[in-house]
């Protein structure tokens, strides 16, 4: 791409950095002004700038799953409001999962066109998970909806502000249709404030450097991203790589569903062909096409250059092919609340197909699921209603040269924080019995480099009538091992009732009723191992036993190392590999 | 004579003030791992006799070094049953979003040294399960067998009720008097179990090292300086006595760097500037911090080894808010894969250093760019500078790539370095809702004065000050410090439900504790000064705002005024306020200063003229203007209150100030350089 103005390379670089800094600032502004833990603790949102055509320039992410979704929101806006139908001071609200959004109704997007001297030069956009958008269940995203209408309010790319005038009607509709209107509207105002930060910073940059310089820097930035991306593709193995796997369930009793990919890498293209995967399903595990695009983008970045600044230039070499109305390209009106489980499944397919060929970049399989938990009820002291909505940490896969990380959020999350127990116990009607690393006892995740450990988090209800909705994927099909490493363990949960009964294990369960002193014991999976366990250094195995990561029996059976339970001295048994 | 010594990565600095208010400085090599040797060397280098010492203030990197080099003690941890893995699970976050081979920070205590005991409190501090002595005995037995050297204790909700932790310390001390023990509630009384546990663990981990170090230093100094006059700099910008430093060494984690920030506030007070952006450029990094209305901002949101790729380790100790970026004089300029120029964060360090040093450095640095464009002169270096090598390095590594001259390339390096620093300065000012026009940029460290005038124009501050002793300003700051202790207590209370008598008791208890603490340190109550703050938020929100609140008993009007102030500060920080929303206190925070008499700073008396201070004219290369013959002055000869118009250069030992066309400069009565925009 050529630019009409000649700008010196250092000015371009400085303006480019200023654009990235503006993106960061918008991102931070939203977290700091939000009122919802799902935004400020889980950072379940994204914000950024695009050019006037909707090409992403910079995106601040707390989670990976939103990557690239802003672009589709802006493109939908341009489609619906062509030419002068879009005006300075407009703010568009959009959460349509099938067009221009890509996730579920809970993720509400706002888009603001930025004008300078009367010309549309860019867009400021963000997308954030609202704690509530109405629908049939508290927290809105549910694991047994049968259509989109049960999943909450739909904003189909409409004007929240029309030339700076707020549409009070939309605000009233939100207020009367969601369960915690202060939280949802509070987040909406935070989003508006963050958009305006982007608008202000871009105008300041135009004032300082001139509009033409800014537009030149925009092109420079996109080209820079593409250049790096193409260099990285050249380093990838060339050929055709395939993988298959399954999505456990659709949440309402159907499944498992087969999914598959064929990845073709040439010198300048990266093509993911998901044709032949299962058609869309009745329950809410469907993912839309734009969600699938995000999935592919995440793993593409992981394989090429995870460190670079992300913009649409980077993704120019990517192509995605998929059947219409498949489980990963669903169309209205099938439910999509738990789209992220299929987004993750699709992402993991590409990962699994390429892992053997890119051991320096990829690991064995991880717990893969957001492992979302919704717990509601009344606080035992204040009697105020509470609502916990949180993802869970689990084990990551071992890799060439390193053990897997224990207790981390899945790849679709990212700069996501668990809720401190002391904060949870103060705010919610629960007591935590345990937050610990899981000991599988069956050699799960064993390897030369072991899978990271899953985690046990046990919530004890402190009042009657609480309700737990748990959505754990990878319950039937375990995290995969690599290069003779063992597979990991499933995500699952049990209910330990006050009367001593134990119920479970389950993967997906809507609205499990809890009485006082019932305990939900949530267990996430251990990641897959890398390499044969018989190659793991015996001294390290003895240390693993001493630290309680593996039992004496596991050491003997899976690693062929006999460890003394008192002294932790060890003997190597015959059959070990070096 | 009052003496301050500051251990840095390369040099140990010293500043003293004698009876007449005259200042002297000295530098000596830092001497790891026996840092106390460097301290004694620099005292000797300064020509100070040990018997002349009347007060000694010390900043040290011993703590941060022990942490980053993993040279602390073998540490054991005792937790509440069910929670020994909190230290390893941490928060589960992955800042390096797209890196699936992300490496999680490894805990400082191995799993088999993390033991659990069956005790439990609820969020109100009520005991659900009592502590049993037998369990502690078991722990001690295990730790002894494993050769543990220090023990940390962290129980659930100990910030509300510390009795189980206190009891545990008591039992351990009875069973094993020699071992060092840290209870989490002794270091921090804030909620969030991972952060508090990690803080306790890191304190325990460095405690043996800190104790040995302080004892050695103490032994050398004891015979000359009265015990009440030996101080160590803490991360909160105040000092503490040697004995106290040994109990909570983690409070010294940023011992050195914060002194410069604190010094900026003190100097500001002296010259009537209460709103300051303090800006320190060293060899490897640039640091900045915002001082508003004379108040240095202190928070407990501190991490080590944290950046945009790594989660790092939280330390809930009060630390001056500093933003640090990898851009200093030694930062290397390089071309990335896609052909863009970058500067830093890699630094050439002290060795081999910039190309200019001639010690084998081949990568061009910011210092080399400043040299090639005439901003620095070969005469400013202690080395024999080969200009041809400098020019060639810049030409080959940067100029040729863009097809431009070495001078243009050098200017590009300076512009990119300035852009990086500008982003850091904006981060602490504009992004936090401050208008730079209300602030003075106070620049120090070896490179501060070189870059600050250019940054001032971009940022739009009203004034730049290059203070006296600017290259060793951190040590100067130490001479000006008071004793300081911060007490922060998580205390969750909605304002509309707050009983005034109840919170009065809370404040009084903390202040009583502070007075007792100072009494132990030999500080009279009349010299103790309290500042109170409440960390407040809107109900349901997470982020808090630190609100200054009145001392003494609160009235209903006080409460209303506090709420109003919170709304205002919230709007400043976050662009909006919610006047109808209920407000909540999360932490109450008391800063207790123990006031120490300060040396008087003398005014300079010089009669020479500006012309007499002129050293030479030098060609300097400017953006858009090319080479301009620019006058160079000697700072030590410049008379006060005489205006010099830019462009001009002022040189002093170890620092150079460059002002631009449209700027003017003069020395004030104390010898500080004051730079302002010329009146149009």
Q: Are A14 and B337 a contacting pair at CB < 8 A? A: no
Q: Which residues contact B362 (CB under 8 A, 6 or more apart)?
A: B352, B355, B393
Checking if the pLDDT of A3 tops 50, the result is: no
Q: Phi and psi at residue B458, in whole multiples of 5°?
A: -65, -40
Structure tokens at A81: 């409001």
Q: Are B100 and A411 a contacting pair at CB < 8 A? A: yes
A518-551 tens-digit pLDDT = 999 999 999 999 999 999 999 999 999 999 999 9
Chain A: give the shortest CA distance to residue B388, in Å. Answer: 24
Question: What is residue B131's three-state secondary structure?
Answer: coil
CB distance B649 to B656 below 8 Å: yes
Q: Are B89 and A183 a contacting pair at CB < 8 A? A: no
Checking if the pLDDT of A500 tops 90, the result is: yes
Long-range contacts formed by A18-21: CB under 8 A, 24+ apart: A18/A201, A18/A205, A18/B419, A18/B423, A19/A49, A19/A57, A19/A58, A19/A202, A19/A205, A19/A217, A19/A218, A19/A221, A20/A58, A20/A309, A21/A201, A21/B423, A21/B426
- ipTM score assigned to the predicted complex: 0.94
Calculate the CA B478 to chain-centre distance: 12
Q: Are B97 and A414 a contacting pair at CB < 8 A? A: yes
CA distance B175 to B73: 20
Chain A (171-200) residues lying within 8 Å, Cβ to Cβ, of chain B: 182-183, 186, 189, 193, 197
Q: A284 or A197: whose pLDDT is higher?
A: A284
Q: Phi and psi at residue B276, in whole multiples of 5°?
A: -135, 140
pLDDT of the residue at A406 = 98
pLDDT of the residue at B597 = 82
Beta strands in A222-296 (DSSP E): 239-247, 257-265, 270-273
A417 contacts chain B (CB < 8 A): yes
Residue A1's CB: how many other CB atoms inside 10 A? 8
A37 contacts chain B (CB < 8 A): yes
Out of A31-40, A351-360, A449-458, least confident range? A31-40
Chain B: give the shortest CA distance to residue A131, in Å. Answer: 12
Among A386, A422, A429, the residue to mutate for chain B (most B Cβ within 10 A): A422
| Cross-strand partners of B679 | none
Domain ranges, ordered by start, for chain B: 484-504+534-594
pTM, rounded to two decimals: 0.92
B491 contacts chain A (CB < 8 A): no
Of the candidates B193, B338, B420, the beta carbon closest to that of A422 is on: B193
Residue A415, CA atoms < 13 Å, CB-side half-sphere = 22
B578 contacts chain A (CB < 8 A): yes
Chain A: give the shortest CA distance to residue B578, in Å. Answer: 9
Q: Are A402 and B100 a contacting pair at CB < 8 A? A: no
What are the DSSP calls for A380-408, one per residue?
TTT--EEEEEE---BPPPPBTTBPPPSSB
Q: Which band of pLDDT confidence, cut at 50, 70 and 90, is reported for residue A2? A: very low
Q: Are A407 and B538 a contacting pair at CB < 8 A? A: no
Residue A86's CB: how many other CB atoms inside 10 A? 18
Q: Are A25 and B431 a contacting pair at CB < 8 A? A: yes
Task: Tell me the average confidence (pLDDT) per consecutive run of 10 residues in chain B, 680 residues long.
Answer: 83 84 81 84 87 87 89 97 98 94 97 98 98 98 97 98 98 97 97 97 97 91 74 93 92 89 94 96 90 92 91 96 90 89 87 90 96 94 92 97 95 95 90 89 94 95 94 90 93 91 93 92 90 91 88 93 94 79 94 88 87 96 93 96 96 93 95 90
Chain B residues closer than 8 Å to A28 by CB: 431
pLDDT of the residue at A5 = 58
Q: Which band of pLDDT confidence, cut at 50, 70 and 90, is reported for residue A1? A: very low
Chain B: give the shortest CA distance to residue A228, in Å. Answer: 6
DSSP one-letter code for A237: P
Chain A: give the shortest CA distance to residue B279, in Å. Answer: 20
Using CA coordinates, name the residue in chain B closest to A198.
Answer: B431
Q: Which band of pLDDT confidence, cut at 50, 70 and 90, is reported for residue A99? A: confident
Q: Are A307 and B99 a contacting pair at CB < 8 A? A: yes
Chain B: give the shortest CA distance to residue A32, in Å. Answer: 6
Chain B (302-361) residues lying within 8 Å, Cβ to Cβ, of chain A: 309, 337-341
pLDDT of the residue at B680 = 64
CB distance B103 to A452 below 8 Å: no
Q: Are B89 and A40 a contacting pair at CB < 8 A? A: no
Burial class of residue B539, CB neighbours in 10 A (0-12, 13-18, 19+): middle
Using CA coordinates, name the residue in chain B closest to A66.
Answer: B97
Q: Which residues contact B171 (CB under 8 A, 6 or more apart)?
A: B133, B136, B137, B140
Chain B (141-180) residues lying within 8 Å, Cβ to Cβ, of chain A: 156-157, 159
Structure tokens at A186: 């509070």
Of the candidates A32, A186, A417, the beta carbon closest to that of B543 is on: A32
Mean of pLDDT values over A335-361: 96
Q: Are B338 and A228 a contacting pair at CB < 8 A? A: yes
pLDDT of the residue at B348 = 87
Structure tokens at B569: 């500060």
A513-524 tens-digit pLDDT = 999 999 999 999
Using only the alpha carbons of chain A, give its radius of gyration: 25
Among B122, B310, B340, the residue to mutate for chain A (most A Cβ within 10 A): B340
* Beta-sheet strand order (sheet of B655-659): B614-622, B626-634, B648-652, B655-659
| Cross-strand partners of B652 | B655
Q: A367 or B13: whose pLDDT is higher?
A: A367
* Element at A502 (helix H, strand E): strand A502-506
Mean of pLDDT values over A16-22: 86
A279-335 tens-digit pLDDT = 999 999 999 999 999 999 999 999 987 666 788 989 999 999 999 999 999 999 999
CA distance A466 to B140: 41
Q: Are B92 and A416 a contacting pair at CB < 8 A? A: yes
Count interface pairs A-B at CB distance under 8 A.
Answer: 191
CA distance B357 to B378: 10
pLDDT of the residue at B496 = 87
């Amino acid at each position: 791409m050529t630019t009409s103005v000649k700008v010196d390379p250092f000015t371009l670089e400085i303006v480019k950095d200023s654009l990235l800094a503006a993106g960061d600032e918008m991102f931070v502004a939203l977290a700091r002004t939000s009122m919802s833990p799902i935004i400020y603790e889980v950072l379940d949102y994204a914000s950024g700038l695009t050019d006037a055509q909707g090409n992403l320039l910079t995106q601040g992410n707390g989670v990976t799953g939103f990557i690239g979704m802003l672009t589709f929101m802006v493109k939908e806006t341009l489609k619906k409001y062509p030419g002068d139908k879009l005006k300075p001071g407009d703010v568009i609200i959009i959460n349509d999962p099938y067009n221009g959004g890509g996730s579920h109704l809970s993720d509400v997007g706002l888009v603001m066109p930025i004008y300078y001297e009367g010309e549309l030069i860019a867009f400021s956009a963000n997308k954030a998970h609202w704690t509530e958008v109405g629908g049939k269940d508290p927290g809105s995203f549910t694991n047994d909806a049968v259509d989109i209408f049960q999943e909450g309010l739909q904003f189909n790319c409409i004007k929240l502000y029309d030339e700076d005038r707020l549409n009070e009607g939309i605000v009233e509709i939100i207020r009367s249709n969601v369960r915690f209107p202060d939280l949802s509207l509070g987040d909406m105002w935070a989003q508006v404030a963050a958009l305006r930060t982007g608008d202000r910073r871009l105008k300041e940059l135009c004032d300082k450097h001139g509009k033409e310089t800014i537009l030149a820097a925009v092109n420079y930035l996109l080209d820079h991203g593409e250049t790096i991306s193409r260099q990285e593709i050249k380093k990838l193995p060339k050929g055709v790589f395939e993988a298959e796997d399954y999505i456990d369930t659709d949440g309402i009793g159907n499944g498992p569903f087969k999914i598959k990919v064929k990845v073709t890498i040439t010198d300048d293209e990266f093509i993911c062909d998901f044709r032949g995967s299962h058609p869309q399903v009745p329950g809410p595990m469907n993912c839309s096409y734009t969600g699938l695009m995000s999935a592919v983008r995440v793993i593409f970045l992981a394989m090429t250059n995870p460190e670079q600044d992300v913009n649409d230039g980077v993704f120019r070499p990517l192509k995605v092919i998929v059947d219409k109305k498949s489980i990963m390209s669903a169309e209205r009106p099938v439910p999509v609340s738990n789209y992220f489980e299929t987004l993750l499944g699709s992402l993991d397919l590409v990962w699994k197909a390429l892992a053997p060929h890119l051991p320096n970049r990829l690991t064995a399989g991880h717990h893969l699921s957001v492992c979302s938990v919704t717990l509601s009820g009344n606080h035992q002291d204040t009697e105020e209603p509470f609502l916990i909505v949180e993802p869970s940490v689990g084990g990551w896969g071992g890799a060439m040269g390193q053990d897997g990380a224990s207790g981390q959020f899945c790849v679709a999350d990212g700069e996501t924080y668990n809720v401190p127990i002391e904060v949870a116990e103060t705010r919610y009607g629960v007591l935590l019995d345990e937050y610990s690393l899981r000991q599988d006892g069956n050699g799960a995740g064993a390897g030369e480099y072991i899978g990271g450990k899953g985690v046990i988090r046990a919530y004890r209800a402190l009042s009657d009538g609480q309700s737990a909705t748990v959505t754990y994927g990878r319950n039937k099909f375990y995290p995969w091992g690599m290069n003779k490493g063992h597979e990991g363990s499933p995500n699952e949960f049990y209910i330990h009732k006050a009367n001593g009964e134990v119920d479970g294990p389950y993967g997906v369960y809507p609205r499990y009723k809890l009485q006082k002193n019932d305990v939900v014991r949530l267990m996430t999976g251990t990641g897959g191992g890398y390499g044969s366990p018989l190659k793991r250094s015996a001294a390290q195995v003895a240390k693993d036993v001493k630290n309680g990561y593996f039992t004496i029996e596991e050491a003997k059976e899976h690693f062929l190392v006999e460890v003394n339970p008192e002294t932790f001295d060890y003997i190597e048994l015959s059959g070990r590999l070096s | 004579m009052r003496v301050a010594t500051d251990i840095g990565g390369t040099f140990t600095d010293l500043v003293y003030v004698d009876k007449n208010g005259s200042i002297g400085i000295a530098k000596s090599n830092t001497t790891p791992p026996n840092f106390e040797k460097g301290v004694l060397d620099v005292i000797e280098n300064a020509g100070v006799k040990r018997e002349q010492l009347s007060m000694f203030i010390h900043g040290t990197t011993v703590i941060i070094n022990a942490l980053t080099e993993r040279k602390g003690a073998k540490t054991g941890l005792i937790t509440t049953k069910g929670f020994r893995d909190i230290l390893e699970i941490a928060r589960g976050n992955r800042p390096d979003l797209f890196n699936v081979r992300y490496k999680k920070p490894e805990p400082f205590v191995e799993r088999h040294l993390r033991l659990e005991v069956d005790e439990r409190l609820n969020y109100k501090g009520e005991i659900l399960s009592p502590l049993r002595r037998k369990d502690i005995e078991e722990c001690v037995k295990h730790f002894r067998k494993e050769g543990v050297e220090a023990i940390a204790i962290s129980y659930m909700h100990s910030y509300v009720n510390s009795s189980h932790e206190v009891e545990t310390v008591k039992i351990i001390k009875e069973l094993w008097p020699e071992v060092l023990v840290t209870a989490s509630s002794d270091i921090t009384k804030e909620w969030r179990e991972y952060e508090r546990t990690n803080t306790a663990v890191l304190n325990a981990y460095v405690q043996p090292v800190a104790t040995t170090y302080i004892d050695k230093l103490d032994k050398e100094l004891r015979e000359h300086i009265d015990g009440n006059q030996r101080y160590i700099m803490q991360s909160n910008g105040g000092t503490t006595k040697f004995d106290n430093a040994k109990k909570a060494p983690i409070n010294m984690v940023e011992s050195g760097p914060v002194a410069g920030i604190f010094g900026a506030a003190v100097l500001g007070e002296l010259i009537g500037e209460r709103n300051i952006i303090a800006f320190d450029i060293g060899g490897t990094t640039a640091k900045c911090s915002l001082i508003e209305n004379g108040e240095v901002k202190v928070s407990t949101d501190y991490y080590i080894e944290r950046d945009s790729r790594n989660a790092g380790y939280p330390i809930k100790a009060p630390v001056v808010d500093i933003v640090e970026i990898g851009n200093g004089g030694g930062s290397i300029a390089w071309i990335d894969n896609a052909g863009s120029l970058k500067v830093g964060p890699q630094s050439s360090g002290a060795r081999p250093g910039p190309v200019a040093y001639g010690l084998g450095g081949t990568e061009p640095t910011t210092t080399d760019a400043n040299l090639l464009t005439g901003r620095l002169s070969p005469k400013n270096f202690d080395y024999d500078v080969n200009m041809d090598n400098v020019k060639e390095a810049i030409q080959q590594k940067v100029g040729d790539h863009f097809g431009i001259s070495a001078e243009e390339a050098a200017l590009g390096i300076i512009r990119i370095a300035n852009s990086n620093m500008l982003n850091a300065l904006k981060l602490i000012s504009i992004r936090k809702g401050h208008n730079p026009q209300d602030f003075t940029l106070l620049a120090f460290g070896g490179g501060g004065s070189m870059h600050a005038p250019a940054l001032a124009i971009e940022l739009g501050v009203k004034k730049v000050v290059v203070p006296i002793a600017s290259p060793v300003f951190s040590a100067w700051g130490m001479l000006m410090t008071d004793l300081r202790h911060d007490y922060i207590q998580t205390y969750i209370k909605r304002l509309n439900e707050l009983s005034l008598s109840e919170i009065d008791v809370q404040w009084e208890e903390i202040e009583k504790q502070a007075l007792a603490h100072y009494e132990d340190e030999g500080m009279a109550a009349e010299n103790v000064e309290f500042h109170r703050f409440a960390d407040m938020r809107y109900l349901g929100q997470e982020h808090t705002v630190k609100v200054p609140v009145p001392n003494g008993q609160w009235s209903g009007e006080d409460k209303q005024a506090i709420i109003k102030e919170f709304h205002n500060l919230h709007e400043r920080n976050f662009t909006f306020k919610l006047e109808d929303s209920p407000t909540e206190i999360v932490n109450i925070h008391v800063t207790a200063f123990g006031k120490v008499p300060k040396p008087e700073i003398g005014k300079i008396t010089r009669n020479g003229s500006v012309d007499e201070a002129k050293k030479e004219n030098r060609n300097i290369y400017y953006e858009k203007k090319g080479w301009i013959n620019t006058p160079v002055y000697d700072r030590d000869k410049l008379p006060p209150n005489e205006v010099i118009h830019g462009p001009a250069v002022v040189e002093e030992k170890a620092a150079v100030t460059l002002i631009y066309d449209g700027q003017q400069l003069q020395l004030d009565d104390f010898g500080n350089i004051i730079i302002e925009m010329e009146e149009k």
